[in-house]
Chains A and B, each alone.
Chain A
Amino acid sequence: DTTFRSYSDDPRAVNVDLQTDATLQVDISDALSERDKVKFTVHTKSTLPNFKQNEFSVVRQHEEFIWLHDSFVENEDYAGYIIPPAPPRPDFDASREKLQKLGEGEGSMTKEEFTKMKQELEAEYLAIFKKTVAMHEVFLCRVAAHPVLRKDLNFHVFLEYNQDLSVRGKNKKEKLEDFFKNVVKSADGVLVAGVKDVDDFFEHEKTFLLEYHNRVKDASAKSDRMIRSHKNAADDINRIASSLYTLGTQDSTDLCKFFLKVSELFEKTRKIEARVAADEDLKLADLLKYYLRESQAAKDLLYRRSRALVDYENANKALDKARAKNRDVLQAETSQQLCCHKFEKISESAKQELIDFKTRRVAAFRKNLVELAELELKHAKGNLQLLQSCLGILKGNT
Chain B
Amino acid sequence: MIVGQILPHTLPLLHFYFHLNIKNLSSPNNTRKEMCDVTEIEELKINVHVFNVCVCVCVCVCVCFQSEPASLPAEDISTNSNGPKQDSLFDDDPEDLFAEATEEVSLDSPERDVLLSDGPSPAITPITPPTSVITPCIGHAHDDMFTHSSFDEIEEEEGGDSFDMHISVSDPEKVGEFWFTLSLSFLSVSLSQTSMSLFKRNEFSVKRRFSDFLGLHSKLASKYLHIGYIVPPAPEKSIVGMTKVKVGKEDQSSNEFVEKRRSALERYLMRTVKHPVLLKDPDVLQFLESSDLPRAVSTQALSSAGLLRMVNKAADAVNKMTIKMNESDAWFEEKQQHFENLDVQLRKLHASVESLVCHRKELSVNTAQFAKSAAMLGNSEDHTALSRALSQLAEVEEKIDQLHQDQANADFYLFSELLGDYVRLITAVKGVFDHRMKTWQKWQDSQMLLQKKREAEAKLQFTNKPDKLQQAKDEIKELEGKVQQGERDFEQISKTIRKEVSRFEKERVKDFKTIIIKYLESLVQTQQQLIKYWEAFLPEAKAIS
Say whether A and B bind each other.
Answer: yes
Contact B521 A222 (CB under 8 A): no
- Is B285 engaged at the interface, CB distance under 8 Å to the other chain? no
Interface centre among B370, B517, B538 (most CB of A within 10 A): B370
Segment at the interface with B among A27-35, A301-309, A336-344, A361-369: A361-369
Contacts of B390 in A (CB 8 A): 365
Contacts of A381 in B (CB 8 A): 527, 531
> Which residue of chain B has its CB nearest to the CB of A388?
B524
Contact A255 B512 (CB under 8 A): yes
Which of B348, B376, B505, B524 has a CB less than 8 Å from the CB of A391?
B524
Q: How many Å lie between the Cα of A377 and that of B531 in the bound state? A: 6
- Is B353 engaged at the interface, CB distance under 8 Å to the other chain? yes
Contact B380 A211 (CB under 8 A): yes
Segment at the interface with B among A48-56, A84-92, A143-151, A238-246: A238-246
- Is B356 engaged at the interface, CB distance under 8 Å to the other chain? yes
How far is the CB of B411 from the nearest CB of chain A, in Å?
9
- Is B115 engaged at the interface, CB distance under 8 Å to the other chain? no
How far is the CB of A378 from the nearest CB of chain B, in Å?
9
> Which residue of chain A has its CB nearest to the CB of B356?
A236
Q: How many Å lie between the Cα of A254 and that of B516 in the bound state? A: 14
Q: A222-B370, A233-B363 known; A255 and B509 CB under 8 Å?
A: yes
How far is the CB of A190 from the nearest CB of chain B, in Å?
19
Q: How many Å lie between the Cα of A229 and that of B370 in the bound state? A: 12
List residues 293-314 of chain B with CB under 8 A from any CB of chain A: none
Contact A255 B370 (CB under 8 A): no
Contact B389 A258 (CB under 8 A): no
Q: How big is chain A's contact interface, by range?
A: 35 or more
Contact A365 B544 (CB under 8 A): yes
Contact A219 B373 (CB under 8 A): yes
- Is A108 engaged at the interface, CB distance under 8 Å to the other chain? no
How far is the CB of B295 from the nearest CB of chain A, in Å?
41
Which of B370, B517, B527 has a CB less than 8 Å from the CB of A223?
B370
Contacts of B382 in A (CB 8 A): 204, 208, 212, 358
Contact B349 A253 (CB under 8 A): no
The A-B contact count (CB < 8 A) is 162
Contact A229 B362 (CB under 8 A): yes
- Is B355 engaged at the interface, CB distance under 8 Å to the other chain? yes
Q: Main secondary structure on chain B at its contact with chain A?
A: helix
Q: Chain B 308-351, CB within 8 Å of chain A: the 1/0 string?
A: 00000000000000000000000000000010011001101100
Contact B534 A240 (CB under 8 A): no
Q: How big is chain B's contact interface, by range?
A: 35 or more
Q: A240-B356, A255-B512, A380-B527 known; A370 and B349 CB under 8 Å?
A: no
Q: How many Å lie between the Cα of A228 and that of B363 in the bound state? A: 8
Q: How many Å lie between the Cα of A362 and that of B544 in the bound state? A: 8
> Which residue of chain B has its CB nearest to the CB of A225?
B366
Contact B366 A229 (CB under 8 A): yes
- Is B541 engaged at the interface, CB distance under 8 Å to the other chain? yes
- Is B386 engaged at the interface, CB distance under 8 Å to the other chain? yes
Contact B370 A225 (CB under 8 A): yes
How far is the CB of B350 from the nearest CB of chain A, in Å?
9
How far is the CB of B362 from the nearest CB of chain A, in Å?
5
How far is the CB of B520 from the nearest CB of chain A, in Å?
5
> Which residue of chain A has its CB nearest to the CB of B347?
A243
17 contacts between A and B (CB under 8 A): A208-B382, A219-B376, A222-B369, A226-B363, A226-B367, A229-B366, A229-B367, A233-B360, A237-B356, A251-B342, A253-B505, A365-B544, A366-B545, A380-B531, A394-B517, A394-B520, A398-B517
A-contacting residues of B (Cβ < 8 Å)? 338, 341-342, 345-346, 348-349, 352-353, 355-356, 359-360, 362-363, 366-367, 369-370, 372-374, 376-377, 379-383, 385-386, 389-390, 393, 505, 508-509, 512-513, 516-517, 520-521, 523-524, 527-528, 530-531, 534-535, 537-538, 541-542, 544-545
